[in-house]
Amino acid sequence: MAGPSGPGSGPLPADKQSLKHLAFFYATVCAVCDDPCLSVDGLSLLKTCGGCHLISYCGEEHQKQHWKFHKEMCIMLKHTLKKMGANKIRGYRINDDLEERNDMFTENAFGFNTYRYYLYFNVRKQIRRSLSTAESRMILYPRMCNICYSNDVKQLRVCSKCLCVSYCSEDHKEKDKDRHSKDCPELKVCFEIDKSLLEAVGFGDIPLSDPMSADFLQTSCLEKIKKYSESLLENLGTIEGRVLTDVMSAPMTIVHTVYSLDLASNKVLSVELVGAGGFEMQYFEKWEQLLHWLPGLEKLTLTFVGPDVGDFESNLKLCGSCISRNVDLKIVRSSQLYHEFINVQSRPDLIVAFNAGFTENIQSKIKDTWKETIPEILKRNCPLLVTSYTHKESKNDLSRVQGLVKDVNVIMECQKNIFSASKPLQDWEQHDDETVPQVYYKNYYLFTVRS
């Protein structure tokens, strides 16, 4: 299959082309050639798919070419929207038979968020597999006005700098000026990272570079991690630098916590990661760093538990130094929910919930599995480290734990994680308050508790 060429990108070979259809989606550009098709006055001339209204093309040729990739999703979306009693992503009601879920059709941010999440959840359920990144983005990041969520595509003007937001009018663009002037450069980075990861093909090709040095026993490893982290932060101007902070945030944050909990001199360590998914499983070789940064370890058990864990290959190849050290390394994976998984024989030293979002599903009124999981975690009688995207979310996550379990000991209050990721992500959720940033970072805040 010949790849089409678009602005700033050469034709992609066939394997990259099919990866693209899985991994890359921005509603503001042609799904095949990435052309935003802007008219001289900034209006988008993209043609939107008449079936689902969620994907656009520069013209008929690319729409036809893309149909084999889009067909299944298009039919599923159309079917699900009809069942929900709506005809478009914006949620215009076409009948009043559905008495429940009225909140989804309200004209505010909450209604719009609930609506998209409900659509996402139902499509995923019906398609009986997890959705690809591109498919998820199609639902969660539709082309719409960033202020009023209008999806009248004929009126929409896209921000030509970041290609991540659109406006229905000059008025709404002006209304968003303060917030977007801060978000725009970071959103531009989001687009560029997604695109260049795709062109580099191989999630997993990025070198993870903090080799075990000969003097690792002499220097304080915590100092070593801080130096390593500083070296990553010096490279934030590059795509690789940004991605590395995201990849390495997980092991850095765990080792930092292990030090603050005084577990760093343990010879045996068992860490259980709950609600694990892409953040934990991608670039899996990053976990070898735990052995480099905890040089006294003789046995390390890493347990990954979560519904998405099974989607990822995970092999940990050790470097020469680690092999000669003869560490007993055990990796356990489970696609169960943690409270279903719990292995009474194992005794974790630390349980970690990265980017937990304990309260996310309460708001969306979608099945909330943390309600059962959190009390079971606290019964394990070991510290629980929780990270969140924002300060507010971190406080909510902590209150949720305190609401579900009596007499929780807060070991570390909500605070900024010095090893947070610096790779920006666009928030799919809208907020009625226009001062809330639309960009967030993984592992940004953290707290630690135990029962």
Stretch that binds Zn ion, among 85-93, 109-117, 165-173, 431-439 (CB under 5 A): 165-173
Closest approach of Cβ 89 to Zn ion, in Å? Answer: 11
Q: Select from 12, 29, 58, 239 the one that contacts Zn ion (CB under 5 A).
A: 58
Q: Does 109 bind Zn ion (CB under 5 A)?
A: no
Q: Which residues contact 336 (CB under 8 A, 6 or more apart)?
A: 305, 307
**Stretch 73-92: interaction string toward Zn ion, x if CB under 5 A:** -x------------------
Applying CB under 5 A, which part among 59-67, 342-350, 410-418, 443-451 lies near Zn ion? 59-67
Lay out the site mask for Zn ion across 276-295 (x = CB under 5 A, - = otherwise): ------------x-------
Smaller CB separation from Zn ion, 90 or 339: 90
Cβ 443 vs Cβ 245: under 8 Å: no
| Residue linked to tokens 């795509």 | 239
137 binds Zn ion (CB under 5 A): no
Q: How far is the CB of 108 from Zn ion (least distance, A)?
A: 13
441 vs 422: CA distance, rounded Å: 6
Does 29 contact Zn ion by CB under 5 A? no
Shortest distance, CB of residue 37 to Zn ion, whole angstroms? Answer: 8
| Residues between 182 and 221 with contacts to Zn ion, criterion CB under 5 A | 184, 212
438/405 Cα distance (integer angstroms): 32
Residues recorded for the chain: 451
Task: Identify the helix (H) or strand (E) that includes residue 145.
Answer: none
Identified binder of Zn ion from the candidate list 131, 162, 337, 374, rule CB under 5 A: 162
Scanning the structure block, which residue is given the tokens 């879920």?
101
Nearer to Zn ion, 212 or 405 (CB): 212
- For residue 5, the minimal CB distance to Zn ion (Å) is 10
What's the min distance (Å) between Cβ of 82 and Zn ion? 13
Q: Which of 428, 24, 433, 424 lies closest to 185, judged by CA?
A: 424
- The interface with Zn ion within residues 312-351 (CB under 5 A) comprises 319, 322
Compute, in degrees rounded to 10, the torsion defined by CA atoms 243, 246, 251, 255: 120
Q: Got the DSSP string for 50-98?
A: TTTSS-EESSHHHHHHHHHHHHHHHHHHHHHHHHHTBSSTT--BS-S--
Cα separation, 367 vs 71, in Å, equals 29
Per CB under 5 A, does 378 bind Zn ion? no
Residue 159, token pair as written in the block = 């921000």
Of the ranges 92-100, 117-125, 138-146, 351-359, which one interacts with Zn ion (CB under 5 A)? 138-146
Q: In whole angstroms, what is the distance from residue 56 CA to residue 47 CA?
A: 5
Can residue 134 be called a binding residue for Zn ion (CB under 5 A)?
A: no
DSSP for residue 202:
-
Strand 299-305 versus strand 268-274 pairing type = parallel
Question: What SS3 state is found at 160?
Answer: coil
Of the candidates 109, 148, 222, 316, which one interacts with Zn ion according to CB under 5 A? 148
Report the residue from 29, 76, 153, 159 that binds Zn ion according to the rule CB under 5 A.
159
Query: Contact positions toward Zn ion, by CB under 5 A?
Result: 30, 32-33, 49, 51-52, 58, 62, 74, 145, 147-148, 150, 159, 161-162, 168, 172, 184, 212, 288, 319, 322
